[in-house]
Amino acid sequence: MSRPVRVCVLGAGSWGTTVASLAAANTQALIWARREDVADEINREHRCHRYLGDLPLHPALRATSSLAEAVANCDVLVMGVPSHCFRQTLRDAVPDIRPWVPVISLAKGLEQNTHRRMTQIIHEEMPGHPAGLLAGPNIAKEVLQGLAAAAVIAMPDEQIARSLQPLFGARVFRAYTNTDVIGCELGGPLKNVIAISAGMADGLGVGHNTRSLVITRGLAEMMRLGTALGGRPETFAGLTGLGDLLTTCTSPLSRNRQVGERLARGESTADIVASMRMVAEGIKTSAVVMELAAQYRVSMPIAEEVDAVIRGRHTAIEAFAGLRRISPGSEGEAA
């Protein structure tokens, strides 16, 4: 292609804006914001104060509040909207997108009721478009500050994934490839649920040993369900599995960890959701995870307790008491 590849990111949240800024350093990049004032701020000040404070965005990044304008001429479409509005946003974009444009998801959630992964929704709403994801242990503000990080571009076609690497990579941001789309895509939603548990552990002050227990046994739960759904075991030891899990369970900037801490303080799920400016995907994902665990007969005691706390059936203290009642067997066994 003689001209630069045009990347369009739909969604001006913290991570979508960060990815758009990364892309702008490499090629033409345009971001769509629902709110006109957000788009104007990005164009005028090269900032997105609502989600990223005073951190500067790449000066070449442009923004628009017109979805049609954003999508019409793009060569790569990046979906930076949350899972609950993912399908509708795709439907709204369908009339304007050109054929065969790759569509990359940034969302780390599962659709309510259908249990669909985001790439499955892309195939349903935009058949014929190559679908994949960009995911990893990435706190948006740290990436935008230029701290070293890495992510994975997961596509069924390795060649397409490799062609996308130069668009998102930077000197200190490494973009790897992986063809295990299912495994990479499940890591994000599943670790969000475990991160709520880790946040509850910190909120209750139960100690570093307990948090390590939650993380490692939580990873085992992620792997059991992920492989039952078709992911490869080794993927869960990589950036989109263990890497993302560690970051989300330990970073004070992690929204899902923050949810767990607030649940431990006795706040209700409704009050937490109402007060949050950004989406914590683990809240809605927990119910979907438990439905999938029941469908595939996978034991997930940590995720089950998290779901019970989110639904108000248990307190955080009761959840950890419930986990203590489980008799330990071999480390390779389900509990």
Do the Cβ atoms of 104 and 132 come closer than 8 Å?
yes
Choices 3.30.450.20, 3.40.1010.10, 3.40.50.720, 1.20.1530.20: CATH for 6-179: 3.40.50.720
For CATH 3.40.50.720, the residue range(s) in the chain are 6-179
Q: Residue 277: its pLDDT value, please?
A: 79
Q: Residue 324: its pLDDT value, please?
A: 73
Do the Cβ atoms of 141 and 14 come closer than 8 Å?
yes
CA atoms within 13 A on the CB side of 191: 32
CATH of domain 182-324: 1.10.1040.10
Exposed e or buried b for every residue in 128-140, given b needs 16+ CB within 10 A? ebbbbbbbbbbbb
Q: Residue 148: its pLDDT value, please?
A: 96
Q: Which segments in the chain show pLDDT lower than 50?
A: none
pTM above 0.85, yes or no: yes
Q: Residue 112: its pLDDT value, please?
A: 92
- The residues that are catalytic are 191
Q: Residue 3: its pLDDT value, please?
A: 82
